[in-house]
Every structure is written in C-alpha cells, then in structure tokens.
Amino acid sequence: MNEDGGVARPRSFDEAVVVDAAARCFTELGYAATSVDDLVSATGLHRGSLYGAFGSKRGLFLAALTRHAGPTGDRALDLLLVAALELAPHDEEVRAVVERSCAALGGDASSSLGRRLLERARVQTDTPRTPHHPSTRRS
C-alpha cells in the first residue's frame, strides 16, 4: 500500500543500476551542477519515478554515496570528494557518511583523497617543483 491507501505499483527498474548511473553523473558534473534533468537523462527514469524512489536529488546522492561508501575504486573516492567538498560542510548526514568512509580508509584517507583529487584535476605531481624563495623575488 502507498501513502494514499492504494496499492503501490512495483518498481520496474533496478535500483542498483539507477544509483550507479546517478553516481556517474554526480562524479562527472559535481553535486551542485547536476540537475534533475541530468539525472533523468542518465538514469532513463521519469522525474516522478526518481522522486518517488529517492525523495529528492539529495536522497539519490545519499543512495549513491552509501552504495559506494566502501574504500575501493575511483568512483567511491570521487563521490567521497564531491560529498566532502560540496555537501559535508553544511549537511550533517552527509558529513557522517564521509567520516565513516574516511575511517574505513584508515590512515590512508588523506593521501588517497588528495591523490585522487589531483588525478581528477590532471595535476602532474611526479615532477620536482622548483622551490619558491621569497628572497629571490623581484619587486
């Protein structure tokens, strides 16, 4: 039964497939830049089905973050970065998932996330940097 007392229609989609498609969308565009239309396009579901299943864009993001909360793979790290940068500063529930995920990564959390962040930014870190000395700076 649904909230109206009627019989709820069974879901005609694989939730794991939808959540994975949304995760790809969130990691490619970021949370704020991902629109519901982007999610509709990525998942193949109608807007009403997305809202019915996940309640909101945030609910779908939480489902993706929770599904990929384990410490394995680039997708998990990418979602963790999006969550940490865009939502955790002002969303306690997301912050808690980020904290649990970082704990699961152990002492390697900072280096794993930092390394992945630089990879995504296409920053080369294997070349030695020239140290910056203020005393040699020209005015």
Q: Is the pTM of this model over 0.85?
A: no
Closest by CA to 58, choosing from 83, 24, 27, 85, is 83
Q: How far apart are CA 84 and CA 90, in angstroms?
A: 10
| Burial environment of residue 51 by CB neighbours within 10 A (0 to 12, 13 to 18, 19 or more) | middle
Q: Are 39 and 91 in contact (CB under 8 A)?
A: no
Residue 5: the pLDDT is: 57
Domains of the chain: 15-123 (1.10.357.10)
Q: What angle do CA 21, 85, 36 make, to 5 degrees?
A: 35
Element (H, E) at 45: none
Confidence of residue 22 (pLDDT cuts 50, 70, 90): very high
Q: How far apart are CA 53 and CA 31, in angstroms?
A: 19
Q: How far apart are CA 25 and CA 41, in angstroms?
A: 10
Indicate whether 132 pLDDT > 60: no
